[in-house]
Every structure is written in C-alpha cells, then in structure tokens.
Amino acid sequence: MKPHRVLAIGYWLNRTDQALTRRMDTMLAEYGITRIGWQVLNVVADGPLVTDPEVLALLAANADTPTLTDAVRTALADGWLTRPAPDHLALTTGGRARLATVAERVAAFRELSMTGISPEEYRTAVSVLERMTGNLA
C-alpha cells in the first residue's frame, strides 16, 4: 500500500532510515558493532582526541544520549576505543585496523544502497532534506 501523498515524505524518510539501520546492523553484527556504533567510531576517527560531549552533540540527530553512551561504552569494552584522558576518546591501534576492514564492507553496502541513483540525484536529495530541515528549525 502506498502512503497518502500528504504523508509521503515522512513515510519514505522513516522507511529509508529503518531499512538502512536494519541492513547495516545485520552487516556489522559480525564485527560486534551497530550502525550507531559505526557512526561513533567514525566521529572519533575524524579527530585526534574527541570528547564524549562532542560525540553526543555530533550524533544527537542519529540517536538519544543513552544509546550513544552505550555505543561508546561498548566500543571501549570491545577494544575499539580507549580513553587517553578523562572524557576523551581515541581509536586504539587495533580499533583503527578493524575500522579500515569494516570500511570496505560499508563501501559495498553504500554501493548497494545507491543502486540506480546517480551522484547528482543523491546530492539533490540531500540538498532538499537540508533545506526542509532549515525551514522547520
């Protein structure tokens, strides 16, 4: 059943997010991480030392604080991350190597999810969603 045209954007945004999360969680399970865990690891990988509040702020739109805190805790316990200073996070050497391996699988996942979608169409979709968000913020 197709959604009513008034509900179409919300319907497809939710369905897309659910599909991405479900498929990514399944694909990442063999590495012991989830989509949110992957996002946390990438935020930490982008900086030399990242604080917990920075992770929470950058990913606030993706998950609530307890979910993000749990993802950080799991990544620490599983050896992906370390705490070189209080409230600071960094990838371990092993975590960096494991993240590179997982990145190959994520690249294949992205290719699958982009089947039949041109780079221009993707940029347009992101641009439209950014503008809608700006209009409503």
pLDDT at 3 over 80: no
pLDDT of res. 130:
93
CA distance 71 to 73: 5
CA distance 116 to 18: 20
pLDDT of res. 27:
95
pLDDT in tens, 47-58: 888 999 999 999
pLDDT at 63 over 70: yes
Domains, the chain, ordered by start:
5-136 (1.10.10.10)
Overall average pLDDT of the 75-84 stretch: 96
Ranking 5-9, 20-24, 86-90, 121-125 by mean pLDDT, the lowest is: 5-9
* 54 burial level (CB within 10 Å; 0-12, 13-18, 19+): middle
Residues present in the chain in total: 137
pLDDT at 100 over 80: yes
pLDDT at 134 over 80: yes
Share of the chain above pLDDT 90, in %: 87
